[in-house]
Structure 1
Amino acid sequence: MHRDIAMIAEDVGLDYLFWMGKWMGFGGATGFWQNTIEPMSMASAIAPLTSRLKLFTTINPLLFHPAVAAKIISTIDNISGGRFGINIVTGNTLEELEQMGVVPEGYGDYRYEYADEWIRVMKMLWTQGRSTFEGRFFKLDNCVSDPKPLSKPYPGIVSAGLSSEGLRFAAKHSDYQFVGLRPAEVARVREFAAEEGRTVKVVTSMMLLHGESDAAAEQEFAAIRDDLDTEALENLIHSFERDNRDSYKDRTSYLRQPNTVGFGSGMPVIGAPDTMAQKLAELIVESGIDGIQFTFVDFVKDLKFFGTVVLPKLKALLARHDIVVADAPAARAAA
C-alpha cells in the first residue's frame, strides 16, 4: 500500500510523504496504532521507487545515538538522491520508550536540551571530516561519519512542539514547524525564528473526508464518529496528559472535542469537491499557513480523488489571492 500511495502522490504532483514513528498501540477494540511500520526502513524502501517526492520520517533522539542516526539518515538521503528529511519528536507519548527502558530519569525536564545537543552533533558529523565534541549527553573523539548527505548543508528538519521550548528548538534547527491553524500560532513561530535570524516554514496537518455531495460526506463523517474507539482515544489522551509542557492542554482539549476523528488540526474538512476546495482555501488564506499535510480514511482512493479533482479547484481559488502552489517540499500538500 505504501508503494501505491507514493506512486499516486507523485502522479498528482504532491510534495512529500510523511511517516509517523509509533512503537506501541493504545488499545481499545480497534487496537489503535498496534501494527505500525518502522519509518526509516520504509523510507529507504520507497526512495528507489520514487523520483521527486520528499520523504520525511519521525525519529526520537532517545532511540539513536547521534552518530548512528547521522549515518542512517545520510544513507537514506543518498539512496533518495537528496530527498530525505526527519521529524524530530522529543516526547509526546513516552510510554512507547519507557517500555524499552531508554528514558533517563528526569528526561521530561531537559528533553529539548537533549534534542538540541543531539541535532548539533549530527550537523557536525554531516559537515565535518572528523568531529570532536564533549557535551552534557554526548562525547565524540575524532569521530568520522561518511558518506555525507547529498542534501546541503544537511537533510530537512521538521518539528512539532508547541511549548515555548519546542518553538525555540524549531527556531534554531527546523526547516518546517507543525502548528494549528490559528494565525497567532503561525505568527509566533515566525517571530521565534526571526529572533534566531532564520525563517521557518509553518505547516499543519488536516484530515480530509470527501463525498460526491456535502450530504454524503457528512453522512460518512457521522458513521465514523459514531464508531469512534473511545477507549483508545482516552488512552491516548491520558498519555498526552503526562506531558509537563505548557502546550499539552491544547492537545488534550482538541482530542476531547466531539467532532474530532482521525489525525489533524481540528475537525476534519468535509464535503464535496467544490466545498472542500473552498474550505481549504479559506483556511490557508485566513491562517497564513505555508503548507498543509493531509491525511485520509483511504489513502489510495482518497488521495487520488483529492489530487485529480480537488487540488485543481484549490489551486484556482488560491490563485485569486496570489498564492501560488509551488514545488517546494511543504508549500503544497502531502500524503
Structure 2
Amino acid sequence: MRKVELGVFMPVGSNGFLMSKRTPRYHPTFELHHQIAQVAEDIGLDYLFWMGKWMGFGGESGFWKNTIEPMSVASSLAPLTKRLKLFATVNPLLFHPAVAAKIITTIDNISGGRFGINVVTGNTLEELEQMGVVPEGYGDYRYEYADEWIRVMKMLWSQDRSTFDGRFFKLADCVSDPKPIRKPYPYLVSAGLSAEGLSFAAKHSDYQFVGLRPADVERTRAAAAAEGRSIKVVTSMLLLHGETDQAAEREFELIREDLDTEALDNLIASFERDNRDSYKDRTSYLRQPNTVGFGSGHPVIGAPDTMAEKLAQLIVETGIDGIQFTCVDFVKDLKLFGAVVLPKLKAILARHDIVVADAPAARVAA
C-alpha cells in the first residue's frame, strides 16, 4: 500500500500566498496558526510547513507585509499537537550550526521527535542583504556553505564532542547535548531542481519539493538512490472549492482579474536582481496568465467531486509522495476539505492501493 502524505503550507506572511485584492487580507497570528493546526490534526493530515520570510513585496494588498518566524511558531505549537510533523524553514546564513543544532534539538524534544527543518540557501537574497549577512560571492558557493552547515550539525547531533576544520566553520571539541529524539537526525527538507539543489537533497534531505512533472519526480528519486538513500518527493497545491465547477472556476477568474500587479512586479524584480539561472523559471511562472500568487501551488479548482477526482489523478499520474495545501480561507477551506473532499479522495485512491490521511481523525464540523 502506497502512502501519500498531506500537509498545510502555513500562511507565514500577510494574505497567505495569494496576490489578489479580492482575497481576504489578514496578518499571520499564533491564534490563526493554532486553529489551522487543530483542523489539520482533526482531519488526519500529516504535517505543517512554514516558510521563512523576512520582508514583503508591497502593492495595494500589502503582500507579506507582516511575517512570523517559523521556528518560534513551530515550537509553540509542538506541545499543542500530537501527530503532525512540523517543518520550519531555516537559512544557514542566519544561524551558526552549533546554535541551530541546539534550537532544532530543543524543538525536536518538545515535539517528541516530530520537528524538522527546510533548508533554504537563497530564495530572494534581498531580504537577507538588508541585514548585512550575505557574504561576498555567496551565490557561487551557497550549496557548499549549506552542505558544510548540515554536516556540522549532524556531527553535533551524533557525537559526544565534535572537532571540525572546514572552509566556513571551525569547531574545537564542541559539545551539544542533549541529542535529538528522532534518529539519526531531525527531518531535513529542501527544494529545487537545479543540479546543485538535487545533489544537496540526495545527500541530506528526507523530503524534496519539486513540481508535478513525473520526470522531475523520478529524477529526484534517482539522485537520492545514487547516494544510497531514498527521498519523498512533494509539491504544493491550491484548493479552491465551489458549489459547482462553474462557480469555482469563476471565482478563480475573479481572483486573477483582481491580481495585485504591483506586488507581483516587486517580487519578479527581487528575483531578477539576483541574476541566478534558477530564477528564470520562477519569473516565467509568475508571468503566466493563471498566476494568482507565489508559493500557492498548482490550482485544484471545482466542486468537491471534481476536486477529489483531480487530486487523485495528479497523485496517481505523477507518482508524488506528498502534497501541501494552500487555501483562500485556511480554516474554513480545510474543514470543508476534510468533511467533503477527503472522504471521496480516499475512496478513489483506495482503488489504486494508495492511502492518504489515514491517521485517526476526530469529527470536524464543516
State the TM-score bracket (shorter-chain normalisation).
Answer: over 0.9
2:134 paired residue number = 103
Paired AA for residue 73 in structure 1: I
Q: Which amino acid aligns with 1:290?
A: D
Deviations 1:70-127 (A, max 9, x none): 0000000101111100000000100010000000000000000000000000001011
Task: Indicate yes or no: 2:308 matched with 1:277.
Answer: yes
Number of the residue aligned with 1:116: 147
- Whether the 8 Å CA contact 2:118–2:190 is kept in 1: the answer is yes
What does residue 192 of structure 1 align with?
223
| CA–CA distance in structure 1, aligned partners of residues 36 and 89 of structure 2 | 18
| Mapping for residues 53-92 of structure 1, pairs under 5 Å | 53-92=84-123
* Residues 165-216 of structure 1 deviation map (CA, whole Å, 9 limit, x = unaligned): 0010000000000000001111110111111111110000111111111122
In structure 2, the residue matched to 1:167 is: 198
Residue 174 of structure 2 is matched in structure 1 by 143
Q: How far is the alpha carbon of 1:245 from its aligned partner?
A: 4.5
> SS of the residue aligned with 2:88?
strand
Residue 260 (structure 1) shift: 1.5
Query: SS at 1:324's partner residue?
Result: strand
How far apart in 2 are the matches of 1:71 and 1:109? 28
Aligned residue type for 1:216? A
CA distance in 1, matches of 2:96, 2:276: 24
- Structure 2 letter corresponding to 1:63: L
Q: How far, CA to CA, are the matches of 1:122 and 1:202 in structure 2?
A: 23
Q: 2:338 aligns with which of 307, 318, 330?
A: 307
> What's the secondary structure of 1:110's corresponding residue?
helix
Counterpart residue type for residue 206 of structure 1: M
- Report the CA distance between 1:309 and its aligned residue: 1.0
- Please report the RMSD computed on the Cα atoms of aligned residues, expressed in angstroms: 1.4
What amino acid maps onto 1:58 in structure 2? Answer: T
Q: 1:45 aligns with which of 76, 92, 111?
A: 76
Match of 2:189 in 1: 158
Which blocks of at least 5 consecutive residues in structure 2 are unaligned?
1-31, 360-366
Amino acid at match of 1:262: G
Distance 1:201 1:244, change over 3 A: farther
Which piece of structure 1 moves more, 239-248 or 66-75? 239-248
Q: TM-score, normalised by structure 1?
A: 0.95
**Residue 264 of structure 1: CA displacement?**
4.4
The alpha-carbon deviation at position 238 of structure 1 amounts to 2.0
Look up the equivalent residue of 2:66 and give its one-letter code: N
CA contact (8 A) 1:92 1:243 kept: no
C-alpha distance 311-291 of structure 1, shift in aligned 2 (>3 A): same
Alignment of structure 1 residues 176-187 onto 2, 5 Å: 176-187=207-218
Residue 261 (structure 2) pairs with residue 230 (structure 1): yes
1:36 corresponds to 2:67: yes
Counterpart Cα distance in 1 of 2:227 and 2:56:
38
Q: Relative contact order (alpha carbons < 8 A, sep ≥ 6): 1 or 2 greater? A: 2
Match of 2:351 in 1: 320
Q: Deviations over 1:128-155 (max 9, x none)?
A: 1111001000000011111111111111
Q: Rate the CA distance shift 1:21–1:124 in 2: closer, same or farther, 3 A.
A: same
Q: Is the 8 A contact 1:207 1:262 kept in 2?
A: no
Instruction: Specify the alignment match of 1:208 in structure 2.
Output: 239
- Partner SS, residue 241 of structure 1: helix
Aligned mates of 2:311, 2:279 — CA distance in 1: 26
How far apart are residue 239 of structure 1 and its match?
2.0
Structure 1 residues 129 and 244: CA distance shift in structure 2, 3 A: farther
Percent identical among aligned pairs is 84
